[in-house]
C-alpha cells in the first residue's frame, strides 16, 4: 500500500433516509504529504488535467447510476 500508518483516516455515518431506507456516507482523509509523494497534491503539475474530459455519455451514465444501491 502506498500509505504509511496514520496517513489515511476514514469514517462512516449512517441514518435512515426520507424513504425509510438506510443510507451511509464515507469520509476519507489523506495526509497532504502522502498525496505529494504520489504526485496527486494540487500544487504539483502532475495533478493538473492534461487530457480531454470523458465524453458526455460517460458523465450522464455516472449521474444516472450515482444513486443506485451497491450490492455485494
Could you give the number of structural domains in the chain? 1
Residue 42: domain span: 8-65
- In this prediction, residue 40 carries a pLDDT of 80
**What are the pLDDT tens digits along the chain (72 aa)?**
578 889 999 998 899 988 999 999 889 998 888 888 887 877 766 666 777 887 888 888 888 887 776 654
> Is 51 within the bounds of a domain?
yes
2 assigned to some structural domain: no
Asked whether residue 1 is assigned to any structural domain, the reply reads: no
pTM: 0.47
Residue 13 belongs to a domain: yes
Q: Does some domain include residue 33?
A: yes
Q: Which helix (H) or strand (E) holds 62?
A: helix 56-65
Task: Report, in angstroms and rounded to the nearest whole number, the Rg of the chain calculated over CA atoms.
Answer: 17
Residue 60 located in a structural domain: yes
Spatial separation of the C-alpha atoms in residues 46 and 15, rounded to whole Å? 38
Integer CA distances (angstroms), 34 to 37, 60, 66, 71, in order? 5, 32, 28, 31
Amino acid at each position: 500500500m502506498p500509505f504509511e500508518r496514520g496517513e489515511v483516516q476514514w469514517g462512516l455515518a449512517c441514518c435512515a433516509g426520507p424513504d425509510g431506507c438506510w443510507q451511509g456516507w464515507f469520509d476519507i482523509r489523506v495526509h497532504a504529504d502522502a498525496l505529494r509523494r504520489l504526485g496527486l497534491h494540487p500544487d504539483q503539475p502532475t495533478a493538473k488535467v492534461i487530457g480531454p474530459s470523458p465524453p458526455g455519455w460517460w458523465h450522464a451514465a455516472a449521474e444516472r447510476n450515482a444513486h443506485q444501491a451497491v450490492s455485494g
